[in-house]
Chain A
Amino acid sequence: MTSHLFKLELRLLARERVAWVMLVLFAAALGYGLWNGGRLAGQQREIAVAISKDKESFHAQLREYLGRQSLDPKAVAGQGTMAVLPPAPLPLLATGQSDLSPGHESVVLWKLAAPADTRSELENPSHLLAGRFDFAFVLVWLFPLFLLAMVYDLMAGDRESGTLRLALAQGVAPMQWLLRRALARALPILALAALATLVAGMFGSPGGTTLRLTLALAVVLAYGLFWVALAVAVNVVARSAASAATSLGAAWVLLVLVAPTLLNVSVETLYPTPSRPELVAAGRKASGEAEKRGGDLLNSFYRDHPELAPPGQQADFAAQHLTVQGEVGRAVEPVRQKFDAQLAQQQTAVGRWRFVSPAIAAHEALTDLAGTGYWRYRAFREQVNAFKQTVADFYTPKIHRREPLTMADYERLPRFSFREEPAGDWLERAAVGLAGMLVLTGALGLWAWRRLRPSRLEPLSN
Chain B
Amino acid sequence: MIAAIARKEFLDAWRDGRFRIAAVVVLALLGVALLMAWQQVERTRSERAAAAVMERENWLNQGVKNSHSAGHFGVYVFKPLAPLAVFDRGIEPFVGTTVFLEAHRQNQAAFLPAQDATAMRRFGELTAAAGLQLLAPLVILLLTFGALAGERERGTLRQVLSLGVRPRDLVLGKALGLGAALATLLLPVALLGAAALATLPDAEGGGSWVRFAWMGGAYVLYLAAILAVCLAVSAMASTARAALAVLLVSWAANAVLAPRLAADLVQHILPTPKLVEFEAAMNQAVQEGLDGHNPRNQRLQTFAQETLKKHGKTRIEELPFNFNGLVMLESERMAGEVFDHHYGKLWDRLEAQDLTVTWAGLVAPLLGLRSASMALAGTDFTHHRHFSVAAEEHRRDFVRVLNEDMMNNTSGGHHGGVADPSLWEKLPAFRYEPPPSAHALRAATPGLVVLLLWAVVAWIALLVVAPRLKPN
Would you call A265 and B91 a contact (CB within 8 A)? no
Which chain A positions have C-beta within 8 A of B245? 245
A100-B118 Cα distance, complex, nearest whole Å? 11
Would you call A347 and B118 a contact (CB within 8 A)? yes
A275-B113 Cα distance, complex, nearest whole Å? 9
- Which single member of B36, B47, B120, B260 contacts A132 (CB below 8 Å)? B260
B114 at the interface (CB under 8 A from A): yes
A121 at the interface (CB under 8 A from B): yes
Would you call A281 and B117 a contact (CB within 8 A)? no
A425 at the interface (CB under 8 A from B): no
Query: Given the known A-B contacts A96-B119, A125-B94, A284-B76, are A276 and B113 also in contact in the complex, defined by CB atoms under 8 Å?
Result: yes
- Which single member of B48, B111, B126 contacts A264 (CB below 8 Å)? B126
Which chain A positions have C-beta within 8 A of B138? 249, 253
The 9 closest A-B pairs by CB, nearest first: A277-B51, A260-B123, A261-B126, A130-B263, A125-B91, A264-B120, A275-B47, A125-B94, A281-B54
Min CB–CB distance B13 → chain A (angstroms): 16
A246-B47 Cα distance, complex, nearest whole Å? 44
Q: Which residue of A lies closest to B265 (CB)?
A: A133
A404 at the interface (CB under 8 A from B): no
A97-B245 Cα distance, complex, nearest whole Å? 34
A417 at the interface (CB under 8 A from B): no
Q: Which residue of B lies closest to A342 (CB)?
A: B116
Known contacts A120-B275, A268-B117, A350-B118; 10 additional CB pairs below 8 A are A125-B91, A129-B94, A130-B259, A249-B138, A261-B124, A280-B98, A281-B55, A284-B55, A350-B119, A374-B119
Chain A residues within CB distance 8 Å of chain B? 36, 43, 47, 50, 96-97, 100-101, 115, 117-133, 137, 141-142, 145, 241-242, 245-246, 249-250, 253, 257-258, 260-265, 267-269, 272-278, 280-282, 284-285, 288, 291-292, 343, 346-347, 350, 359-360, 363-364, 367, 373-374
- Which single member of B76, B90, B122, B244 contacts A281 (CB below 8 Å)? B76
Encoded as 1 (CB less than 8 Å from any A CB) or 0, chain B from 322 to 366 comes to 000000000000000000000000100010011001000000000
B273 at the interface (CB under 8 A from A): yes
Which chain A positions have C-beta within 8 A of B252? 145
Would you call A242 and B241 a contact (CB within 8 A)? yes
Would you call A288 and B126 a contact (CB within 8 A)? no
B256 at the interface (CB under 8 A from A): yes
- Which single member of B58, B93, B244, B353 contacts A284 (CB below 8 Å)? B58
Q: Which residue of A lies closest to B242 (CB)?
A: A242
B29 at the interface (CB under 8 A from A): yes
B461 at the interface (CB under 8 A from A): no
Interface residue tally for chain B (C-beta within 8 Å): 89
Which chain B positions have C-beta within 8 A of A253? 135, 138
B274 at the interface (CB under 8 A from A): yes
Min CB–CB distance A411 → chain B (angstroms): 30
Would you call B118 and A346 a contact (CB within 8 A)? yes
B238 at the interface (CB under 8 A from A): no
Would you call B260 and A137 a contact (CB within 8 A)? yes
Q: Which residue of B lies closest to A136 (CB)?
A: B122
Would you call B78 and A277 a contact (CB within 8 A)? yes
Q: How many A-B residue pairs have CB under 8 A?
A: 226
Which chain A positions have C-beta within 8 A of B33? 265
Q: Which residue of B lies closest to A247 (CB)?
A: B18
Would you call A262 and B126 a contact (CB within 8 A)? yes
Would you call B116 and A258 a contact (CB within 8 A)? no
10 A-B pairs with C-beta separation under 8 A: A118-B110, A121-B275, A125-B381, A141-B256, A265-B126, A268-B40, A275-B48, A281-B55, A350-B118, A360-B120
Min CB–CB distance A275 → chain B (angstroms): 4
A324-B107 Cα distance, complex, nearest whole Å? 24
Would you call B120 and A245 a contact (CB within 8 A)? no
Q: Which residue of B lies closest to A288 (CB)?
A: B58
Would you call B135 and A374 a contact (CB within 8 A)? no
B281 at the interface (CB under 8 A from A): no
A173-B29 Cα distance, complex, nearest whole Å? 42
B12 at the interface (CB under 8 A from A): no
Residue of B40, B52, B113, B120 most packed against chain A (CB within 10 A): B120
B190 at the interface (CB under 8 A from A): no
B305 at the interface (CB under 8 A from A): no
Min CB–CB distance A296 → chain B (angstroms): 13
- Which single member of B116, B260, B273 contacts A122 (CB below 8 Å)? B273
Which chain B positions have C-beta within 8 A of A260? 120, 123-124
Query: Given the known A-B contacts A126-B381, A129-B94, A264-B126, are A246 and B244 also in contact in the complex, defined by CB atoms under 8 Å?
Result: yes
- Which single member of B32, B73, B121, B241 contacts A288 (CB below 8 Å)? B73
Encoded as 1 (CB less than 8 Å from any A CB) or 0, chain B from 230 to 252 comes to 00000000001100110010001
Which chain B positions have C-beta within 8 A of A36? 264
Would you call B47 and A265 a contact (CB within 8 A)? no
A346-B114 Cα distance, complex, nearest whole Å? 13
Min CB–CB distance B132 → chain A (angstroms): 13
Would you call B125 and A264 a contact (CB within 8 A)? yes
Would you call B76 and A128 a contact (CB within 8 A)? no
B142 at the interface (CB under 8 A from A): yes
Query: Given the known A-B contacts A117-B110, A241-B241, A245-B248, are A267 and B115 also in contact in the complex, defined by CB atoms under 8 Å?
Result: no
Min CB–CB distance A33 → chain B (angstroms): 10
